[in-house]
Structures are given as structure tokens and as C-alpha cells.
């Protein structure tokens, strides 16, 4: 699923003790640093040939109660869910209930006006279907929950044109995976969640993995990691606080492109199963982890629910990321070297990182990127003097600066707040956007530098 990330700052560190091998020490050092820089809040598991070499939790599961994460915390997987949707399609094909190259209109006759789109097109993102989220943003009554059947109905009603001919090129499509969930339900005569439970989660004993739509069908889930974003005052909040007409609320009834919930341990079970033949055989796995060609002649590196790459250093890898309603998720499997990286986060924002590059560097004993950081610590009392609303006749927006705890934030008119790192001589920086703010407190002046912009602001 897609949408931009937002960020917040009030966090605590929690962890499960782990044998401190050299690799574990390095990984913990890297992740602790990223946590302290407000770049990470979540759970990590790293395995080599199925053996866990590192697992740890960083931060809060529940901001309101201050409950800390633990390594059994349950996270919404967002688009990492797609690999389970794709596997369900493979299993239904093996059960003789569908064929990959059949038209989707055979199973969803309401879409007969899309006669050449096949199930395979949906799985590998070559359908040309437009984004259902944009359609629902424009046309849907946002006081009601949308479901997969509603997507079918709205597409049948408005008949939006394809963005390109099926098979012509790759374009990531949540719509395709929502339609796949409908096909799974209609061919299996079960709900999407029931089919996945009976055919994947239960056989593999993934006991903490299930479909959960927290707004559409709320229920008590123990040890749940709530997803948080930042409001206009830099507070960490659930997206529910933005109202029922906010997209993560009224689209919560939709499955297939997301809504699988799981833990780092269950995802390792899933990883191990994919090396065996309990669910699928070697021919199936060639398809799942295989690339294809589009009619424009380009390689499509999206297999069946996985992005597939081959690199000289790491061999063949299969990975997928996800982002939705405060969750930032990631799984990466090194198929030639049998290494596994699983990252589940429940805070997201402009500084949020998926630390896969650093983890790879540890796993392969690579040199680390040299980082020069001369930032300093600042106390809440010291930050107060910089607060205020700054304006300039030569800049179209005002900039509000305010402290929260020991972090200084800045917010341009109509924009989200962003956290600033403190440096000597009243300098503050936001590295992702290369913004530098230099304050002259005695003159109530702030100098804003970004690229070629060098603007002098005065505190109102």
C-alpha cells in the first residue's frame, strides 16, 4: 500500500536480550543509533541458514499506555501481505480451481469490459488497471467502509480506462491484488482470511498470523503494535484521530493488497517453509521467484508477490516492503546464500529508514559507509529560545519553530513538522531535505538555507 510517511518523537527503548556475537553487537549498535536518531521504531530479526543471529525490539507498541514492543508483538504487514495473496493464487491453481492465464472476467464477470486482463497480469502488476484509491478518493461516500466487492462495483459503475494494455509494462497495482482477493474468495467459497488460514497459516503453524482490519472489524488483539503517525503538533497519533473520512479508515475493509498481520517469528517460519516443499514444489518456486518480460521488451522483476533481483555480492534475492497507516514493513530473502532480514516498524515519518543496507553490510562483512556526524545534544531549556513564528517578505510561507522534549521541530505553513538535529553555534539541520537553519537569538533572526535558497527570517 502506498502513501507518504509521517514522523514523531516520543519513544522508549525496549529489547529482548540476545547472545552478543560480533554480528549481533554490530547490528544492535547500528539499530540503536537509528532509533536514537528517530529513524527506527520496531522489531528486527536476522537469520543465517535459518538460525537466528539477531532479534530485538526498539520502542513503543502503544504510545498511550507506554507499552513497549517485544519480539512477539503483532504488526500489520501492509504490502508485505501481497506474497500471501500470490501464494493463495498458486495453491488454487494447484487445486485445479483456476489457471494463471485465464481472463479475470471469468471469475469477476462484472469486469467483462476488461476482457484481456489475466490473473497472471494481476499477480505480476502488468494489468494496466488504475489505482482504486484514487477512484475512491474522488467518488466514494467516505462515511462508509469500502470492501473488495465495493471496488468491483465501483469499477463496474465507472469503467475507468486502462492506463496501458495488459502485459505492455510493469506498474505496481494495489487494485490488482484487491481483485485477486475477490478471485480467491469466489473460487474457494471461503473468505480471504479463512482461505489463508486453512491453506497457509495453519499448516505452517503460523499461530500469530491472521487477517485483521482494526477499524472495519475491531477486536481485542493481545500484544498488538499500533501504527502511529505524527499530527500537526508533532504528537504521535493513530490515523483514526484524523476522522472516519481519512483514507486509512474508510479503506480498512479491503484485503489482498494488505491486512495480513504477523510477527517476526512467524515470518521466519514462512521463510523456512519457502525453502521446502510443504506448500509448493520447485517448479512453483521458479515461477514465484522468477522474472518475466513485458511486451515493451523490459524485464519485469516482480514475481508472484516478490521483487526479485540478482547481484554479484548477494546472489539472487527476493524482497518486499510495505507502508500503511504508520506501519513500515520489510522482508528480504537471500535465495543463494540463505540469509533472511525481517523488519517490522510501527512508527513512520520523513526520517524513517528500512535498515536493510546496513544489515547486509554486517551479514557479508562489508565496510560501512563513512558517516560524519558532529551533532550535539540540546536540552529542552536551551531549545526554548529558538521557538516562534518566523516570516520573510522573500519567502512564500512562514516557518513555525517549536521544541518538543529535547528535539526542535520546524513546520512551514500547510506542511508537516520535521525534526531538526542540533549542531554548534545555533545551527540546526534536517538532513533528508538538506535544510539548515541558523539562529541569531539576540536579533530574533533565523537564516534558512536549502540548495540555492538563503533567506533571512525575522521572528514575529
pLDDT of residue 11: 27
Q: What is the mean pLDDT of the chain?
A: 91
Distance CA 343, CA 416 (A): 26
Architecture of domain 1-371: 3-Layer(aba) Sandwich (3.40)
Would residue 79 show up in a list of annotated catalytic residues for this protein? yes
pLDDT of residue 246: 93
Grid cell 484514487 — which residue? 134
Out of 73, 79, 127, 262, which one is annotated catalytic?
A: 79
Q: Which three cell numbers stand for residue 86?
A: 500470490
Q: Are 114 and 363 in contact (CB under 8 A)?
A: no
Q: Which three cell numbers stand for residue 446?
A: 533565523
Average pLDDT on 147-151 reads 98
Q: What is the pLDDT confidence band of residue 15, given thresholds at 50, 70 and 90? A: very low
Q: Which three cell numbers stand for residue 368?
A: 560501512
Q: How far from each other are the two terminal CA atoms of the chain, in whole angstroms?
A: 41
The answer to whether residue 379 scores a pLDDT higher than 60 is yes
Label residue 391 exposed, middle or buried (CB < 10 Å: 0-12, 13-18, 19+).
Answer: middle
The answer to whether residue 414 scores a pLDDT higher than 80 is no
Q: Are 307 and 301 in contact (CB under 8 A)?
A: yes
Average pLDDT on 136-164 reads 97
| 230 alpha carbon, distance to own chain's centre | 16
pLDDT of residue 198: 98
> Higher confidence at residue 38 or residue 332?
332
Q: Which of 68, 119, 67 is nearest to 92 (CA)?
A: 119
pLDDT (tens digit per residue) in 357-374: 999 999 998 887 655 556
pLDDT of residue 20: 57
pLDDT (tens digit per residue) in 196-221: 999 999 999 999 999 999 999 999 99
> Higher confidence at residue 46 or residue 7?
46
Distance CA 398, CA 357 (A): 37
pTM of the predicted model over 0.75: yes
Distances (CA, A) of 201 to 84, 196, 209, 305, 354: 10, 6, 7, 17, 26
| DSSP codes, 338-405 | TEEEEEEESB-STT---THHHHHHHHTTPPPPP---------HHHHGGG-EEEE-TTSSS-EEEEEET
DSSP 268: H
Q: What is the pLDDT confidence band of residue 136, given thresholds at 50, 70 and 90? A: very high
The reply to whether domains 1-371 and 380-459 share a CATH topology is: no
pLDDT of residue 100: 98
Q: Are 299 and 293 in contact (CB under 8 A)?
A: yes
Distances (CA, A) of 409 to 9, 313, 353, 375, 401: 10, 40, 19, 15, 6
pLDDT of residue 1: 46
* Other C-beta atoms lying within 10 Å of the C-beta of residue 159: 10
pLDDT of residue 7: 26
Topology of the domain covering 380-459: Lipocalin (2.40.128)
Distance CA 212, CA 219 (A): 9
Q: Are 104 and 112 in contact (CB under 8 A)?
A: no
Q: Are 364 and 313 in contact (CB under 8 A)?
A: yes
The answer to whether residue 4 scores a pLDDT higher than 70 is no
Q: Which three cell numbers stand for residue 84?
A: 500471501
pLDDT (tens digit per residue) in 80-104: 999 999 999 999 999 999 999 999 9
Q: Which three cell numbers stand for residue 165?
A: 494494455
pLDDT of residue 367: 81
Q: Give the percent of the chain with pLDDT over 90.
A: 77
pLDDT of residue 18: 37
> Higher confidence at residue 406 or residue 20?
406
430-433 CB contacts, 8 Å cutoff, 24+ apart: 430/350, 432/350, 432/351, 433/350
The answer to whether residue 182 scores a pLDDT higher than 80 is yes
Phi, psi of 398 (to 5 degrees): -85, 155
Q: Which of 331, 305, 77 is nearest to 180 (CA)?
A: 305
> Higher confidence at residue 262 or residue 419?
262
Q: What is the pLDDT confidence band of residue 407, given thresholds at 50, 70 and 90? A: confident
Q: Which three cell numbers stand for residue 109?
A: 464477470
Domain coordinates in residue numbering, the chain: 1-371, 380-459
Q: Which of 321, 375, 309, 376 is nearest to 353 (CA)?
A: 321
Distance CA 394, CA 454 (A): 10
Q: Which residues contact 283 (CB under 8 A, 6 or more apart)?
A: none
Sheet with strand 210-211: strands edge to edge:
75-76, 260-262, 210-211
Distance CA 429, CA 353 (A): 18
pLDDT of residue 14: 37
Label residue 109 exposed, middle or buried (CB < 10 Å: 0-12, 13-18, 19+).
Answer: exposed
Q: Which three cell numbers stand for residue 433?
A: 531535505
Amino acid at each position: 500500500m502506498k502513501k507518504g510517511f509521517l514522523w514523531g518523537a516520543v519513544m522508549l527503548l525496549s529489547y529482548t536480550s540476545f547472545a552478543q556475537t560480533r554480528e549481533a553487537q554490530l547490528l544492535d549498535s547500528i539499530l540503536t543509533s537509528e532509533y536514537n536518531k528517530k529513524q527506527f521504531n520496531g522489531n528486527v530479526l536476522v537469520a543465517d541458514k535459518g538460525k537466528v543471529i539477531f532479534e530485538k525490539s526498539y520502542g513503543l507498541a502503544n504510545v498511550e499506555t507506554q507499552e513497549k514492543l517485544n519480539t512477539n508483538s503483532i504488526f500489520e504487514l501492509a504490502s508485505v501481505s501481497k506474497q500471501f495473496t500470490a501464494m493463495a493464487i498458486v495453491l488454487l491453481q494447484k487445486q485445479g480451481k483456476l489457471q494463471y492465464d485465464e481472463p479475470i472476467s471469468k471469475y469477476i464477470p462484472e469486469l467483462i469490459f476488461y476482457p484481456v486482463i489475466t490473473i497472471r497480469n494481476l499477480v505480476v502488476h502488468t494489468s494496466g488497471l488504475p489505482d482504486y484509491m484514487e477512484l475512491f478518493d474522488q467518488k466514494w461516500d467516505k462515511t462508509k467502509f469500502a470492501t473488495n466487492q465495493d471496488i468491483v462495483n465501483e469499477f463496474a459503475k465507472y469503467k475507468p480506462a486502462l492506463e496501458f494494455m495488459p502485459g505492455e509494462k510493469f506498474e505496481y497495482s494495489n487494485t490488482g491484488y484487491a481483485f485477486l482477493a475477490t478471485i480467491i474468495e469466489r473460487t474457494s467459497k471461503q473468505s480471504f482470511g479463512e482461505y489463508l488460514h486453512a491453506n497457509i497459516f495453519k499448516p505452517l503453524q503460523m499461530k500469530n498470523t491472521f487477517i485483521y482490519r482494526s477499524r472495519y472489524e475491531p477486536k481485542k488483539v493481545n500484544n498488538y503494535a499500533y501504527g502511529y503517525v505524527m499530527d500537526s503538533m508533532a504528537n504521535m497519533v493513530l490515523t483514526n484521530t484524523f476522522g472516519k473520512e481519512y483514507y486509512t479508515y474508510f479503506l480498512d475493509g479491503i484485503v489482498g493488497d494488505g491486512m495480513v498481520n504477523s510477527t517476526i517469528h512467524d515470518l521466519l517460519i514462512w521463510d523456512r517453509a519457502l525453502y521446502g516443499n510443504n506448500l509448493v514444489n520447485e517448479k512453483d518456486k521458479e515461477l514465484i521467484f522468477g522474472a518475466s518480460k513485458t511486451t515493451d521488451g523490459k524485464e519485469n522483476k516482480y514475481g508472484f508477490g516478490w521483487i526479485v533481483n540478482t547481484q554479484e555480492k548477494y546472489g539472487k534475492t527476493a524482497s518486499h516492503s510495505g507502508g500503511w497507516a504508520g506501519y513500515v514493513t520489510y522482508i528480504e530473502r537471500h535465495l543463494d546464500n540463505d540469509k533472511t532480514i525481517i523488519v517490522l516498524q510501527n512508527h513512520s515519518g520523513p526520517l524513517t529508514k528500512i535498515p536493510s543496507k546496513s544489515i547486509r553490510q554486517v551479514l557479508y562483512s562489508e565496510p560501512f559507509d563513512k558517516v560524519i556526524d558532529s551533532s550535539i545534544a540540546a536540552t529542552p531549556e536551551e531549545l526554548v529560545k529558538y521557538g516562534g513564528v518566523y516570516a520573510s517578505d522573500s519567502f512564500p510561507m512562514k516557518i513555525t519553530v517549536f521544541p518538543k522534549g529535547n528535539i526542535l521541530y520546524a513546520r512551514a505553513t500547510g506542511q508537516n513538522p520535521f525534526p531538526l538535529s542540533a549542531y554548534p553555534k545555533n545551527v540546526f539541520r534536517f538532513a533528508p531535505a538538506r535544510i539548515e537553519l541558523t539562529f541569531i537569538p539576540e536579533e530574533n533572526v533565523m537564516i534558512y538555507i536549502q540548495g540555492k535558497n538563503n533567506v533571512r527570517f525575522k521572528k514575529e
